[in-house]
Each structure stands twice: as C-alpha cells, then as structure tokens.
Amino acid sequence: MRRRDFLRSATGALAGAPLLAFPRLGRRRAPWLLVPMDDTQADHLKAYGVVFRLLERGGRAEWFLNYRNGAFLIPSDAVTARDTALAGVTSEPLDDGALLGIRAEIQMENMEAVPLEKAPKVAVYAPPNAAPWDDAVTMALRYAGIDFAKVWDSEVLAPAGTGLARYDWLHLHHEDFTGQYSKFYLTYAGAPWLAEMVERNTAMARALGFSSVPAEKRAVAEAIAAYVHQGGFLFAMCAATETLDLALAGAGVDIAAAYADQTPMDPNATAKMDWSRALAFQDARLELSPNVSQFSDIDGHEVNAMSRRQELGSFRSFNFSAKIDPVATMLVQNHRETIPDFYGLTTSFRKSRIKPGVTILADEPGAPWAKYLHGEHGQGTWTFYGGHDPEDPQHQIGDAPTDLSLHPHSPGYRLILNNVLFPAAKKKELKT
Amino acid sequence: MRRVLWLVLVLLGVARALAAQTELMARAYEQERRSDFNAAAQAYLEVLRQYPDNLSALLGLERALTPLHREADLAGPAEAFLARNPSDVAAYSVAMRGWAAANRPDSVAAVARRWARVEPGSEAPYREWGNTLIAQRDGSGARRAYLAGRERLGDPSAMAGELALLAAAQNNWEEAAREWGLAMDRYPGYRLTARNALARAPVADHERVLRQLSRGTPAARRLAAELGVQWEDPDAAYALLMASLPVAGNESLDALRQFLDAARGIEGPAAARVRGQVLEQIADRSNGAAASRMRLEAARSYAEGNDAASARRMLSALAADGSTPPDMAAGATATLVTVLLREGQVEEAERQLGGLRRNLGEENAARLTLQVADGWVRQGNLDRAEAVLAGDSTVEALAMTGVIRLYRGDLSGAATALRSAGPFAGSREEATQRTALLALIQPIETDSLPALGAALLSLAQGDSAAAVARLVTVADGLPAAGGGAELRLLAGRIETGLGRPDEAERLLRAAADSSAPATAPAAELELGRLLLSVGRGTEAIAQLEHLILTYPGSAAVPQARRVLDAARGGIPES
C-alpha cells in the first residue's frame, strides 16, 4: 500500500471516534492536552519537540490538521505535562466532552486528525567539521530538542542495511552533490575553511576509492535516491535540492569544473543530462562558468549572478484538502500563509524546470518560481525547500548563527519541523 | 531646378529611413518594457541588421539578453558593430562581456587590445577588461589584465586602485596596502577610500598591512597611523603620525584632523589620551576661539583617558588665556570639576564649582552638584553630601537624597524619597538601580537598619568584600521572607562578580528559600547561571527546571528558559 493510500485509510477511520487510548493518570487531571498552533501558542517551534519526545517515549499523539493552525492532541500524563511546562509550550487541558466537540468540527470542516505513532529516526547529512555557515534544520532540531544523528559520505555509502537504512528521515542542506564545493573554489580561493573543505572531501573520495570528489558525490547522490526509493523520507534545503538532482541527471556526463576533477566540464553537458533520473527537475541549463557560484537555471533568484539576481518577495503556501491529501496538508501546517522569502545558494525553483507530477506546496504569487516542493520516488517521498535560513534572509558566509529563542513563532522554521513530524504519521515501519 | 529636386528627394529618403529606424527601436523598447525579452532581443537584432551603426540597439540587445542568460549571444553583434565603428569605444565593453559570457577569455583580451590601440594612453580598456573578468569571478585573470595595462602604459602606479581592491577581495592584504599606497600617490583623493578599504583587513593581517604602508611615502605612513589607531595601538600610531607630519602648516593641520577623524569613536583610555594629544597639537596650530575650543576638547579627552595632569594643564592654559570666551571658560571649569572628582579631590571640586556656578547652565550646574555629592558619598562623608544637595529640589537630587538616607540606615525615609523620585530621574540605568534598591528594602519590616546602610555604603565605596560580610550579618538577623533572602541574593551576586563561585553558590542556595517566594526564583536563576559558568551543566539544568516548574508565574521564567536552552545547546552561545 502506498503511503498516501495508507494515510487516507487510517485517517478516515479516525475521523469518527478517538482510537488513541491514553491512560488516565489522575482523578482530577483532564485526560488530554491540546497544544494550539495558532497565535495563542507561546513557542510554536518547541511544540514539535514536545510531540516528538512523547513519541520517543512510546506515547502517541494526534495532529489536528487545519484545526487551530495544526494543533496537537497529547496525553496529559505527568511526564508530558512536565515537558510542556519546561519548554514553555502553551497547552490547554481537554476533557473527553470537549474533545468530542473538536472531533465533530474536524469531521465537518476541511480538517483531519492524523495519528502520530512513532518518532522517526532522524539523520542530518553534514561533514564532521563545522562549516562557516549554519544549517537551519540542525538549528531547528536543536532548539526544539529533537535528537538526531550526523551522517556523512562513509555512512551513506556503507553496505546495504548499515548506512542510511537505519534512519527514517534524512536531511540535506548546503551540500554540493556536483562535487564543486558550492562553486566557491575560485571566489574564496585562499580561505582556510575552503582549503579544509577541499582537503576533507578529497581525502574522503580517495578513502572510498573514487577518482575524484565529483564522482564520489554522485555516488552519494545515487545512494540517497535509492534510500528514498526504498521508503525513506528526504528533506533538502538550499543548494542540496538543486545539486542532488543535477548529480542524478548528470550520470555519465562531466558536469564539474576542471578544478574539481582535473577535466573541463563537457561543453554539451546540458544536452546530455538524463532528467528521468532526477527527482524534481527537468530541462535545466547548466551554468558553464566555473567562477559563478550557481549551478543551473533551476534557481529563480540567482543570488550569486549579480546581473540576474532577483529581489526577495514573499511566498504563500497552498491550501490542500486535509481529508483527500493529508500529506501535503501536513507539510504546510502554519499560522501564517504568507512568509517573507529568504536567499540561499538555491533560493527557489523555476516552475518551468519542475517535473509534472511534483506537488508545489508554496510559491511566490505572480513570480515564475516555487519555494517548496514535494514528491514521491518509489516507496519514499522527498521535500525540497529553497533558501538557507528563514530568519536570516541574506545570510552571508561567516555570519553568526540564528538564535531561535528570538524567533519562537517563525513560520519559515515551522515548515521545516512539519517535515520532521510527517514521517511519524504512519503505523508500521517506514522501510519496506 | 533639377539639383534642388534631387536634394529634396534625398532628404525625404533620409527622413523616411530615420522614421523607420525610430519605429523599430520603439517596438523593441516596448517589448523590453513588457519584459518580453525574447521578442525584445529579436527586435533589437532586426534594428542592427537594418541599421548596423545603431549603438542604442546594441545596448538594448545586451539588456534583453541578460535576463535570458544569453549574454554569450552578444559577442557576434558587438563585433559586427565594431567592424564598422572601430572608434566607438562603448561597444568594446559590450563585446568583452559577450565573449566573457561565452567563456572565451582570449577573445576578451583581444578586444581589450584593439580598444587600447584606439585609445593608446587610456586606462579604460584595461579597467574594463579586468572588471569584465571580475564579473565572471575570474580574479586572477582580472589581475593579469590590470598588470598588462600597467606595463603597456609604462606607469608603475597605473591601475593601482583596481589592483588594490582586487587584492583585498582575494585576501591579499599586503598587496592591497602596497597598491593603495601607489594609488594615493597618484590620486591623493583616494586616501579615505583606501582607509575604509584597508580597515576591513582581518586582525591576522593588520601587522602586515601596517608594515607595508610604513615602508611607503609619508602619505602612506600617515594612513598606517590612521589604521593603527583604529586597530588598538593608539600610542604607536600617534608616534608614526608625528614622525610623518608634513612641515607646511595647512597640510599638517589636515593630517592631524584626518588622524583625529580616524581616532574618534575608538573606546579605551589609550585612544582617548591620543585624541587629547592630537587636539592639543591642533590647538597649538590654531588661534583665538578655535584654539580655546580645541584645548577644551583636549582636556576632556585627557580626562577620559585618565590623564588628569594633562587635562589640568589644558584647563590651566585656558584659564590663563584672557581671550577665552566666558562660555568656554565655564565648560573648562566643568571639565576640571570632573577631573578633580575622578582624582578624589572632592573639596577642591566643590570649591571650583561654587566659584563658577553662575556661569554654568542650570542643567550643567545640577549635574555637577550631583557628581560632587556622589564624591562625598564615596568618601563616606554623608553629611557633606546632604549639605551639597540642600536646597536642590530636582528629582535627581531627591533620588540621591533617598540613597543617602539608605546609607544612613533610614529605610523608611529612603523608601519615601526613592518613591517620590519615581522612574524619571537620571538615566535608565540609574532608575533601574533605584528600583532594585526599593525591592531590596521593601520586605524588611523595620524602619531603621544602620547595619544595612553601612553594608550598602561599603558597596558604593567599592569595598565589595566588606559589603558581603556586612550583608550576610544583617541577613542572619532577618527572616528569609522579611529581607534575609533578598540580602543573601545580593551578596551572592556580588560574590559571583568577584569570581568566588563557592561562596556565591552557598549564598544563592540560602537565598533560594521557598519561604521567600518573591526572591527564590531570581536566586535559582542566578544559581543556574553560576553552575553553568563553572561547567556544572547537569546541575544547572536541574536547577533551572526546578525554577520553571516550581514558579511558573515568575518573571524569571522566560530568562530561565533561555539559559536552559543555552545549557542544552538549543541556541547558539551569545
């Protein structure tokens, strides 16, 4: 059964009556806590952490899609109540009568109750060293208090069953899967962090038996695509979105500059790309200059191509039918529909380069680009979110990391955390 | 007659051709305005096909091709245009950009060389060549282009500004400094640009930049001095400035003012002293009121730099100068009072203030009166302090009266005066301090407690250790909820500030008494911070969690959550 079909049937059964059986822990304590996600919530981001830790403890929760901007129903046991209080997350005691009223409302409106049953095992793809830029997802996970493991190339390319297969959810951020060091090689020549990055990647490629970093990164991209195909959940941001697809579509084509693999880029590379291998994009034109920190014309904003750089606007998430399409609905749960845009090495995705069948979750009204995409690949799903840091729209290399305690209501970060909980909405093991 | 007819026909033909050309261009502009760049590009190409000398069409074509990522298609039309109009220099840069987009650096260079043959003495072809390559992020190619220009023009300082900017962008700060030195020699007006550009050099390169500039011309050495003062070596910078000062009066004044401009806003006593020295130098080269004003400013800077002797030397010179305007003399006295108070000469400060009070503005006089009263308080002479304030009915004076009463142990009188002063007297920081004092004495039920006054006076006098001992003694005689916990919290904070974590922890744990619920959350928060600062993260987390869960309504909870986030690594360290 496909994930979407499963969710549809599972959530349909839940619409009528509460299936979750939480123990009553005290005579006077209301059996439930409702965690509202509208403007009454004191800390939207930490609410996801409360739910995640509940699932980690073996507890269960429900996600009320479109009800008070994506509220959560959690049991009011002592541990959960304590965790909620410590996190400063707003919660409202709820008795069975009130819950019944909410369920009735959910049944009648464009809303849905999705059970959350198992905390996904989360992995973040990141090199062991600290890069001079930050990863919004890592920051969001740390702020919300969600545990994660760090994986890099050796783990991704480990034999079947020992690498990515151990994780349910994988995040990619700033990585350049074309193996060109984000095309900073010439612009930042001499910078110590770049020298370290080159050295570390070269050593890893050599240790894994590859002739060059681009060849090794392509193998990593293939392994990630295989992981998704086998049922994994992939969430990528910034340059990882675009370069993953370029690496997949560029199998057998030299798409890397000479500094990366000692051979010049194939001048006809654009014509030789096999887009059937890519997850999200098609028909893109590759950036030929090794000096421009840009990979192709997939990105609509082209932040590093000075003459073509587009100004930042705002993007708007779409409304989906919660009962028919709960997956897309989950991914756009938010207390704001319109969100200020933010740059990244890849900021947005030109609609003309997006494959048919890909779900556009958010775009900039009137602009020819989308911001937030979702699609299926084999048994798994992927979500691409353009940009680098939702609360630092013009993040520069070396800038201080964002302090999320100053942005506890960040709607841009909420979209990230929706993705973390999304794999929890399934009863059985994710990998098949 | 036939000749006239022929001329009319020719003119009519020209007019028709011009009208057709204008119409084609208007169509192209309209397509461009509507952001239909494909159509606009086609339209401009059509103009160029029919009218190959139309430069506006060529420039329009570039505008249309850029958003289409087709800049490479520019090269052909630009070359065709140049073949017919080799002296039209604007088209050379268009051709360069086209070849650059097509990733043909050799062709870019060839265009630059052709342009240089048209304008043999000009830097423009090489500048455009280099800039085109910079736009392609080809820094090393750009450097070669600029150096080719320098060689071709036979001028070792040609293209120096461009090379300096490029070197800085490539983190080669030593070369940037050398090139800026050359550029300033060629164009003295570059000095400010050079200073702003080199000021961005990373700390690790500061020494190399200064060494390079110090080897250069006097102007370069003065630039080294201006950078040196910004990079926290004010004394060495001043010495370098004086060693490279021009002899001519006006030029030396300009150099001193430029240095002063660079030194303004730099914090710390050394920078303030150096500002005083420069101002004194400027005063020595000035006359009349301008000289007086400079000496007054110099005195203030010396005072800020804790150089009381030099400050007094300046002020004495002002007093001795009969031409000093009265308002400036009053300003000098005000500065002198501040200097004397800083030296602890309160008696003399009070005498100086009394002598010139009428010449000071009301606001200045009131401010200095408070400073003199504060000086007496610091010396423990509360009677003299109150005497200075006698008759002063300002809210600031009322606030200080409240503080003096507190130091005498008159809690009731202190509370009345501090409340009367309200939140508007003095700075925001002073208002916050008064509120803290009120919070400190509020739970204490007795009206008079001289021992507490003595403890707080010790603190005001800077004797923190004695203050802690006295506060603890007073706290021991009070119930926790009746001020004991609050005094222990204050003592714990002082111990933390003194870097004595063990004593601080003992006092803060005692202050975190559940029978004093108004104090306990703040004490627990302070304790959590202390434990975190000494590497006892697990205990800190437990303490902060206890605070949040036990006192959920306390104002300390949001701060506690933030500290907790930091302790768990949930937010970056600030």
Q: Pick the residue from chain B with its C-alpha nearest to A145.
A: B570
Which of B138, B173, B174, B565 is most worth mutating to test chain A (most A CB atoms within 10 A of its CB)?
A: B565
Residues of B in contact with A87 (CB under 8 A): 561
Q: Say yes or no for a CB contact (<8 Å) between A308 and B69.
A: yes
- Give mean pLDDT, residues A194-201: 86
- pLDDT value for B452: 95
Q: Pick the residue from chain A with its C-alpha nearest to B172.
A: A190
Residues of A in contact with B574 (CB under 8 A): 403
- pLDDT value for B1: 55
**Mean pLDDT lowest among B9-13, B77-81, B487-491:** B9-13
Element spanning B112, H or E:
helix B105-118
**A35-68 confidence digits (pLDDT tens):** 999 999 999 999 999 999 999 999 999 999 999 9
Size of interface A-B (CB pairs under 8 A): 68
Residues from A in contact with B at Cβ < 8 Å: 82, 85-88, 139, 142-145, 186-187, 189-191, 285, 288-289, 291-293, 297, 306-308, 400-405
Q: Say yes or no for a CB contact (<8 Å) between A291 and B137.
A: yes
Q: What are the angstrom distances between the C-alpha of A127 and each of A132, A152, A176, A398, B442?
A: 12, 6, 12, 17, 56
Locate the domains of chain A by residue range. Answer: 3-116, 122-424
**Mean pLDDT lowest among A116-130, A139-153, B88-102, B415-429:** B415-429
Q: How confident is the model at residue A13 (pLDDT cuts 50, 70, 90)?
A: very low
A204 phi and psi, to 5 degrees? -65, -45
Q: Say yes or no for a CB contact (<8 Å) between B170 and A190.
A: yes
Q: How confident is the model at residue B2 (pLDDT cuts 50, 70, 90)?
A: low
Which of A150, A186, A293 is most worth mutating to test chain B (most B CB atoms within 10 A of its CB)?
A: A186
Residues of B in contact with A308 (CB under 8 A): 66-67, 69
Q: Pick the residue from chain B with its C-alpha nearest to A407.
A: B571
Q: How confident is the model at residue A3 (pLDDT cuts 50, 70, 90)?
A: very low
- Give mean pLDDT, residues A353-382: 95
More confident residue, A264 or B478: B478
Element spanning A99, H or E:
helix A96-108
Alpha-carbon span B278 to B222, nearest angstrom: 13
B66, B561, B574: residue with CB nearest A88: B561
Q: Say yes or no for a CB contact (<8 Å) between B548 and A186.
A: no
Q: What are the angstrom distances between the C-alpha of A324 and each of A112, A189, A233, A320, B479?
A: 9, 52, 20, 8, 66
Q: Pick the residue from chain B with its C-alpha nearest to A307.
A: B66
Are the CB atoms for A190 and A340 separated by under 8 Å?
no
Strand order in the sheet with A71-75: A92-94, A32-35, A71-75, A61-65, A112-116
pLDDT at A6 over 50: no
pTM to 2 decimal places: 0.67
Burial of A257 per CB tally in 10 Å (0-12, 13-18, 19+): buried
**Mean pLDDT lowest among A33-37, A170-174, B430-434, B437-441:** B430-434
**Mean pLDDT lowest among A124-138, B47-61, B403-417:** A124-138
- pLDDT value for B125: 94
Q: Say yes or no for a CB contact (<8 Å) between B103 and A82.
A: no
- Give mean pLDDT, residues B555-572: 90
Q: How confident is the model at residue B554 (pLDDT cuts 50, 70, 90)?
A: very high
Q: Pick the residue from chain A with its C-alpha nearest to B171.
A: A190
Mean pLDDT of chain B: 88
Q: Pick the residue from chain B with its C-alpha nearest to A88.
A: B561
Buried b (16+ CB within 10 A) or exposed e, B246-281: eeeeeebbebbebbbebbeebeeebbbbbbbbbbbb
Alpha-carbon span B474 to B491, nearest angstrom: 11
- In angstroms, the separation between the Cα of residue B177 and the nearest Cα of chain A is 18
pLDDT at A14 over 50: no
- pLDDT value for A253: 93
3-state secondary structure of A424: helix
Mean pLDDT of chain A: 87
Q: How confident is the model at residue A428 (pLDDT cuts 50, 70, 90)?
A: very low
Provide the percentage of residues in chain B whose pLDDT is more than 70.
Answer: 96
Q: State how beta strands A233-237 and A380-385 pair.
A: parallel
| Residue pointed to by tokens 């009969």 | B322
**B354-396 confidence digits (pLDDT tens):** 877 766 777 788 888 999 999 999 899 999 999 988 878 888 8
**Mean pLDDT lowest among A67-76, A295-304, B26-35:** B26-35
Q: For chain A, what is the radius of gyration of the CA atoms?
A: 22
- Give mean pLDDT, residues A76-105: 95
pLDDT at A160 over 80: no
- pLDDT value for A214: 94
Burial of A130 per CB tally in 10 Å (0-12, 13-18, 19+): exposed
Dihedral (C-alpha) B451, B455, B457, B462: value to the nearest 10 degrees? Answer: 160
**B232-276 confidence digits (pLDDT tens):** 789 999 999 999 888 776 888 899 999 999 888 888 889 999 999
Name the H helices within B450-536.
450-460, 464-476, 484-497, 501-511, 520-533
Are the CB atoms for A225 and A219 separated by under 8 Å?
no
Residues of A in contact with B562 (CB under 8 A): 405
Alpha-carbon span B435 to B471, nearest angstrom: 19
Q: Which of A2, A109, A121 is nearest to A420 (CA)?
A: A121
- Give mean pLDDT, residues B91-113: 92
CA atoms within 13 A on the CB side of B341: 24
Residues of B in contact with A85 (CB under 8 A): 548-549, 552
Structural domain A122-424, CATH architecture = 3-Layer(aba) Sandwich (3.40)
**Mean pLDDT lowest among A4-8, B69-73, B227-231, B554-558:** A4-8
Q: Say yes or no for a CB contact (<8 Å) between B574 and A285.
A: no
Are the CB atoms for B112 and B142 separated by under 8 Å?
no
Q: How many helices (H) and strands (E) does chain B have?
A: 32, 0
Q: Say yes or no for a CB contact (<8 Å) between A142 and B67.
A: no
Top mean-pLDDT range of A100-104, B292-296, B379-383: A100-104
Single-letter residue type at A158: A
Burial of A58 per CB tally in 10 Å (0-12, 13-18, 19+): exposed
